[in-house]
Chains A and B, each alone.
Chain A
């Protein structure tokens, strides 16, 4: 429909009002065209035009939202009815109320034929029309439509009379006959009333989407025009006497049969197509529903199941005959039935497509009493038959099993992790015990070696020559060295096992303390310390101290050969944003070629004759720095000192710039 029914009805009402208005103008200015279309033909009377005007307005406003206009429509309809009823009474009772020429004087009609008075047919049609309008206003659409159709038929009859030139039709009584445009206007009005409420009353039969409506709309033209044409042929035959009259009747009957048969075939074909389409669409729907991997249940507003698919039968264990027509609570486990009805009503009140029972575990109840874990999605559906809910139900037993498996595996994993941790802790404990015994048991023999070598040296000095004494000294030195190595190794191993306890540490203070100790131990040395103040980091206090001790002690040791020295501790911001700390000395330095050997355990770049040391110190420092997540590297040149850089990330460093 390009226009809605109401738009068509309103349009018709405007047309009718225009016609009425024009005819009145015609009477006012004596325009023959408007009064009777052609001179000699019956005129549309002024009262007729007025009544059309009134009824036209009534039609337009009969369904207005504001009651003022509806009351206006009512009063117009009543007014028109009054006019027509009075006219009829004039005919019936034979009196003259003086209303016929109230507006204008009718010169065209003879006095004996009641000038200005509308014909009986017209008045009758108006009465019917008025009644139809009242029915419409009071919403009895069926009655309104019946009345409207009667009016339409009467108008059509008059028009057929004009068409077949049957004067008796429009001169049923000796009185005035209906004008042609009056008849047309009646037909139009009839259509207008039918269209005003196109979805109610008789219009509903014609203007709907079902096969019946489609068929009705297709057939109406045929039903109306085919008989008219056939009738015209008969009239023509009568007037020209082309065929014998009885033969012509036989011919008419046969043509009637033929045409009706053709119409029948055409209708049958249309219905067949429509029905096939519907069947196909039904089948598609059914296939879609049956093919769904999940169970589907359609529930109406009263909670009754109206459709299920095969999966629903399998899931719940009922054949579909036992499900259809039952309340859906049949499938709800007893612990939920209580609020399920409430939830259902709530859903219809505010229908949205959503999963059901968000966050809750849902269960369905099978025929055999078993409860199945499910997931349910709800979809509201609006059809001509009302509101429905389409529930898609999926059996999630497997998913739940999988989840349980995962939980179990997680738990088992946690157990294993706990076991592993316990094992590691036990291993650590063993290592500690081992280190403990090593530290004790390995030293004792060393003590003996050293002690008795010295005893030899002291007690038997006379019997031992220089060479012998030198041998013994070397024995002593070696054993002392080994003791130192043991200590260093133990310290290093302890480092990896101990826990890191990060806290804010002031590096400057630590370096100052170490520096002070060194100067106290060897006051004769001339060493200048340049220490950046208030350098704060996050780290383990004892480990950081050990690292700095190693670095500063190294700096002290390797500047021993110089008369005076400068040892520096500071911090730099690199362009990359890294904060880098350093300990710098201007002592013996090292060859950069061997830089990568610096931090290996027991690696030394100097002989023991040049500088003492076990070579563990830097390995220790590196281990400590790495445990803090940082890295350490060195730069140096022979006899030009060395700088050791390191980072301690994860530190919120606050330091005053140098």
Chain B
């Protein structure tokens, strides 16, 4: 089974750089991009444009906090509220080091919080470790009964 990674990021530069980092580190998973909170939720819950085109849940969600329309923390909350997505691994990947964001993210049960470094090399290294951990090492939670079994 292909392990899909959902990247929720509004900044196109950051999207490209993240993809580049994945590629450079030989992480060949399919990466789905959601450019704002609404797109992310639509993808996860098969609503909106995905209503007629349902898809399996991703293996990992990389979530930026500062998003237009519905922001990252709200997305996180909705993910954790829904039975289907409650156990989904979510890594908050954001520029902010504000204590408030940290607090909220962990309170809303994000699995991890990574601050994006400006230095690309370090960023790349962070992505490599991230990817390796969550996509290779970590045991994913079991998927729900209504998912193809």
Binding site for B on A (CB under 8 A): 436, 439-441, 443-448, 450-455, 476, 479-480, 482-483, 487
Contacts and interface: CB of A to CB of B under 8 A. Distances in A.
A147 B123 CA distance: 136
Closest CB pairs A-B (n = 7): A448-B13, A483-B118, A451-B120, A451-B17, A443-B95, A454-B120, A440-B96
Nearest to A479: B118
Nearest to B18: A451
A541 to B, nearest CB: 16
A16 to B, nearest CB: 115
Contact of A447 (B20, B96, B98, B120): B120
A439 B97 contact: yes
Interface in B92-149: 94-98, 100, 116-121, 123
Interface of B: 11, 13-14, 16-17, 20, 66, 94-98, 100, 116-121, 123
B55 to A, nearest CB: 29
Contacts of B100: 436
Contact of A444 (B14, B117, B121): B14
Contacts of B20: 451, 455
Contacts of B16: 451
Contacts of A447: 13-14, 17, 95, 116-118, 120, 123
A490 to B, nearest CB: 8
Interface centre among A450, A455, A482 (most CB of B within 10 A): A450
Contacts of B118: 443, 446-447, 450, 479-480, 482-483
B98 A439 contact: yes
Nearest to B66: A440
Contacts of B14: 444, 447-448
B9 to A, nearest CB: 10
Contacts of A448: 11, 13-14, 17
B50 to A, nearest CB: 28
Given A439-B95, A487-B97, 6 more contacts: A443-B95, A444-B11, A447-B14, A455-B120, A480-B118, A483-B119
B66 A451 contact: no
12 contacts: A436-B98, A439-B96, A440-B98, A444-B11, A447-B17, A448-B13, A448-B14, A450-B119, A451-B16, A479-B118, A483-B118, A483-B119
B27 to A, nearest CB: 17
A436 B96 contact: yes
Contacts, number: 62
Contacts of A440: 66, 94-96, 98
Nearest to A437: B66
A483 B122 CA distance: 13
Interface centre among A439, A441, A443, A487 (most CB of B within 10 A): A443
B7 to A, nearest CB: 15
Contact of A443 (B116, B120, B121): B116
Contacts of A483: 117-119
Interface centre among B16, B17, B123 (most CB of A within 10 A): B17
Contacts of A441: 66
Interface centre among A439, A440, A441 (most CB of B within 10 A): A440
B119 A480 contact: yes
B13 A454 contact: no
Contacts of A443: 95, 116, 118
Nearest to A457: B120
A255 B71 CA distance: 136
Nearest to A477: B119
Contact of A450 (B11, B96, B98, B120): B120
A451 B96 contact: no
Contacts of A450: 118-120
B116 A454 contact: no
Contact of B17 (A439, A452, A482): A452
Contacts of A453: 120
A465 B134 CA distance: 39
Contacts of A479: 118
Contacts of B121: 454
A428 to B, nearest CB: 15
A482 to B, nearest CB: 8
Contacts of A455: 17, 20, 120
B102 to A, nearest CB: 12
Given A451-B20, A452-B17, A455-B20, A444 B119 contact: no
B98 A452 contact: no
Contacts of B66: 440-441
A447 B116 CA distance: 8
B20 to A, nearest CB: 6
A71 B18 CA distance: 133
Contacts of B116: 443, 447
B119 A452 contact: no
A389 B17 CA distance: 101
A5 B120 CA distance: 123
Contacts of B13: 444-445, 447-448, 451-452
Contacts of A454: 120-121
A480 B118 CA distance: 6
A441 B116 CA distance: 12
B42 to A, nearest CB: 24
A333 to B, nearest CB: 64
A480 B117 CA distance: 9
A440 B97 CA distance: 8
A242 to B, nearest CB: 139
Contacts of B120: 447, 450-451, 453-455, 476
A153 to B, nearest CB: 120
Given A440-B66, A446-B118, A451 B123 contact: yes
Contacts of B119: 450, 476, 480, 483
Interface centre among A441, A445, A447, A455 (most CB of B within 10 A): A447
A452 B16 CA distance: 9
A444 B116 CA distance: 9
B93 to A, nearest CB: 12
A643 to B, nearest CB: 33
A479 B17 CA distance: 16
Interface centre among B96, B97, B118 (most CB of A within 10 A): B118
A446 B119 CA distance: 9
Contacts of B123: 447, 451
A451 B11 CA distance: 13
Contacts of A446: 118
A450 B17 CA distance: 10
A493 to B, nearest CB: 13
Contacts of B96: 436, 439-440
A482 B119 CA distance: 11
Nearest to B115: A443
A212 to B, nearest CB: 102
A356 B30 CA distance: 96
A439 B66 CA distance: 12
A450 B11 CA distance: 15
A183 to B, nearest CB: 124
Nearest to B95: A443
Nearest to A483: B118
A469 to B, nearest CB: 15
B30 to A, nearest CB: 22
Nearest to B116: A447
